[in-house]
Chains A and B, each alone.
Chain A
Amino acid sequence: MKVCDIIEKLNLKVIAGEEGLQNEVRGGYTSDLLSDVMGNADEGQVWITLQTHRNVMAVASLKEVAAVIIVKDLEADENTISQSNDEGIPLLSSSMQAFELSGELYKLLAEKK
């Protein structure tokens, strides 16, 4: 499953980083602690968070996640958006809260297997 597929199925908005919409999604990780993501997330996962500042994209890039989804329609900072475009890692948003969104994504990825 690709990032563009989950956008369609989960009704996500694309904020930035269109270049990476064909990235393959290999799983998900939900956390608002950057060190937790740094230490435990894997390449190709979709990262679900409520953090909106630029360091999110720095971590996303170093970990090579497939995409970042910001929950609850929170607004990303200006420099988060520009870094998402620079890195080509999609920055997406959802009106759902983290629990619901993680559940939906989990279901979607499990069905596919």
Chain B
Amino acid sequence: MSYVPVEEIIKSQKTPGFKTTPEEAPTEDFHDILFQLEKEGELIVQRVPEPYLEVPTKYGRKKKIPLQKTWHHKSCGQCGHIPGYSTSIFWINRKLGFDYIDPRDQTSCTAWNYYASATSNAPAQAAVAIRNFSSAYETGYFPIIHCGTSFGHYKEVRHELLHHHELRRQVRDIMERLGKKLVLPEEIVHYSEWVYAIRDRIAEHQVIDMSNITATVHPACHYHKLVEEDAVYDPEIYGAQRTAIVTGTLKALGINVKDYSTWFDCCGFGFRHILVSRDFSRSFAVQRKIEVMKEEVNPDVTVTHDTGCVTTLDQSQFAARAHGRKVGIPVMSDSQIAALAMGAHPYKVLQLHWHNTDNKPFFEKLGIDWKKKWQEFEEAVEKIKSGEKEYLTWEDADA
């Protein structure tokens, strides 16, 4: 028996360009069941509107990503505490001339509470999801999900609905009482997949050179660990061994993305922990993520694509700094970085005053005069305070 060094075996398995084909996929294609149930009259499937883009997923299948006519399922954590996150998503749509809806007929998925406290159950969670999907369907616009947890949770809900007749019956009865239908979208799409899918178009509109920026990426657990098969993976990014979103977007903007050894680790959010046991969240975020990035890469910024990840990685650095830990990496979403590259205002659009960690060195490296930009924001705020304006408008944001 010939001897093969273990390093060679590992190397051969980790060769960039690793691919799987749909025929070899270890999981079912949910579309088969979805369309079968539609034929049987069990539910309605909302189709991805044309024109759409196709991106590769974990097992080599294709996922349709709508370009526009999107119904934006907002995130409670983003809108509540880091509102420049969602504002940047909307700003990119407007800049590219895409038609979209920012609905009021939308609740959160309520999954943050569910994963934190379990004060809900499968029928309630499914009904909340389907109420939102049904509302989107009524408008003719296709749902696009801003939050990583909503995205992962809705895919879990989809799995449960597709496999459990009794749950479908319960949810259909509830929807009937609300005057709605049991609707599932053809694809459940996360906004970062949309950003990734249009990354070249974003790059065409890039006005800020970012080639001197080094970034690390934190992938959101609920994006790529929950119902993993329709997360986006690309042979060109980490040899399709890790999800491609965020990294692919940053590379398209010319940013130098560097790897670090705890890439797979969670941010420490913990759902209940971030609200009532924050010692855990702080410790994990700092010791397993920020300090490792700092030690191994020392990036100018770390970029992620979920509500909880931005919050935990950013806010946890304040207390750690007081203890002399190696922290100090600004944290932003891919939507904020993409909008900034396209010329969005750091405070009127990215709303970075809601973030915590010092980002001034990052702006100075980009040649952006943050003092002038902050002054412009303060002038806009003064107009609101004096009553000259009621709100900051989209036109004001680009003025």
Q: Do A and B bind each other?
A: no
B residues in contact (CB < 8 Å) with A:
none
A residues in contact (CB < 8 Å) with B:
none
